[in-house]
Amino acid sequence: MLHESHLAYFRKLLGDAFVLTGANDLEAYGRDWTRIHTPKPAAVVLPASTADVAALVKYCAAHQLAIVPSGGRTGLAAGAVAANGEIVLSLNRLNQIEDVDAVGMTMRVQAGVTTQQAQEAAKEVGLFFPLDLAAKGSCHIGGNIATNAGGVKFIRFGGMREQVLGLEVVLPSGEILDLNTGLRKNNTGYDLRQLFIGSEGTLGIVTKATIRLTPPPRNMQVSVMAVRKFADIPAILGVCNRAGVQLTAFEFFTREAHEIVLQHAMGARSPFAEISPYYVLLEVEEGPSGQQVMEPLLEQIFTEDLITDAVIAQSSAQAKELWGLRENITESIAKHGHVRKNDISLAINQLTDFIADLEPIVQSAPKDMQLVIFGHLGDGNLHINYVGPKSQDFAAFQARAREVELQVFALLGRYKGSISAEHGIGLLKTKDLHFSRSDAEIALMRQIKSLLDPKGLLNPGKIFPG
């Protein structure tokens, strides 16, 4: 329970301006991109340094105050939601890029640096930071690490885990760990850094990271293809793989997703005269020589009768426009109706059977509920959005979508798929963890949690079923 004396300590440490208790601030900082739980934090604190974070965490541990670490609040699993009187600890002010090493190709950043800021700083020295997602303007590197974000370039560069060389973490005790200091090679016992990546703020607060940069991909070509049946999409991926091209993205979306984007995203237009059941967005790197790769690839895909139409971007503006058809799906759906989201993954060679088995579930879903499917197909990652009319009562919609979702998860369990490929468990999927993790795994995860956070004060209620 928060007392005036606690607020007085926070104000003394951070200054009055950086301890927020107004209703609007509590609401804004108490929620993420999900809008399912009612935000109810006790206060928001905005430290400016690792030392501030450590002091706050120590104080909260001594006074039994629960903390929710908070990044850009673009999360889609309610991991940053504070609905039970917690203190929201926002990393917004830890927003400095501390060092860019263009030779070693690394960058040291504070946790509150946005993904886009990191991308731009890499570009300034002629390098590339490969994590890329539509929320990049708002999400933080710290949030990307805590969620082990995937994004649209995973197929080539991997997710956030692959980009983290070093990590500074404040433990629930307030102790500061400096893990791996940015080394590329280091085999000295357990790699503790990996434990914190994807731990959704339940094991420690990330305050700094050394991230990996790469040489920039050259001459990216973007194409969108119209596809008549789902089974042809993995077949297209197979053609790309056999052709030995350097894929930087292999994304797909359905007709329903496409139509929603055309309806809601400003300036969006379809590159094709006719609407198709499925679309694939393909990005390849043609390399420094600029040798044409995309055209012969598409010819091969046409020859194998896997697509009905295709367009290749002729300029960077057109490439951006084509990417918009994929990247604007989430925002467009949010405008279109009530939403419940799944973020699942399967082995790529099982996707077609899974989609066929999903069909009866789609058909038996309530008539006013659409299942809009899209995602990072090249990674076996499907996003299923259950979308209903905004005129419906929100809670009633969620309950009905949950019934359908449980059927989807049961099916997914049969395929040994994951109920979260990239967004995490947060508060939203705690009851569903068992679909993807065994009892033994969950028990071990709980032991790790209580070893690091014996009082259960760091992001309580997240990941584990209550």
* By the rule CB under 6 A, 106 interacts with ligand 2HG: no
The residue nearest ligand 2HG at its CB is: 330
Query: Residue 71 or 375: which CB sits closer to ligand 2HG?
Result: 375
Q: Which of 54, 87, 134, 165 binds ligand 2HG (CB under 6 A)?
A: 134
Least distance CB 70 / ligand FAD (angstroms): 5
The residue nearest ligand FAD at its CB is: 143
Q: How many residues bind ligand 2HG (CB under 6 A)?
A: 7
Query: Residue 41 or 424: which CB sits closer to ligand 2HG?
Result: 424
- Sign of the alpha-carbon torsion through 286, 290, 295, 297: negative
* By the rule CB under 6 A, 139 interacts with ligand FAD: yes
> Which of ligand FAD, ligand 2HG, none binds 278 (CB below 5-8 Å, type-dependent)?
none
Query: Residue 249 or 312: which CB sits closer to ligand FAD?
Result: 249
* By the rule CB under 6 A, 449 interacts with ligand 2HG: no
> Which of ligand FAD, ligand 2HG, none binds 119 (CB below 5-8 Å, type-dependent)?
none
Q: In this structure, are residues 281 and 222 in contact, taking their beta carbons and an 8 Å threshold?
A: yes
* By the rule CB under 6 A, 332 interacts with ligand FAD: no
* By the rule CB under 6 A, 117 interacts with ligand FAD: no
* By the rule CB under 6 A, 217 interacts with ligand FAD: no
- The number of C-alpha atoms within 13 Å of 384 and in the hemisphere containing its C-beta is 25
- Cβ partners under 8 Å of residue 404, min gap 6: 361, 365, 366, 369, 371, 386
Q: Which amino acid is at 357?
A: D
Question: Alpha-carbon distance 125 to 105, whole Å?
Answer: 10
Q: Which residues, 78 to 97, sit near ligand FAD by CB under 6 A?
A: 79-80, 91
**Rg of the Cα trace of the chain?**
23
Q: Which residues, 322 to 351, sit near ligand 2HG by CB under 6 A?
A: 329-330, 341
Residues at the interface with ligand FAD (CB under 6 A): 32-33, 68-76, 79-80, 91, 111, 133-135, 139-140, 142-144, 146-147, 149-152, 200-201, 205-206, 330-331, 422-423, 426, 459, 462
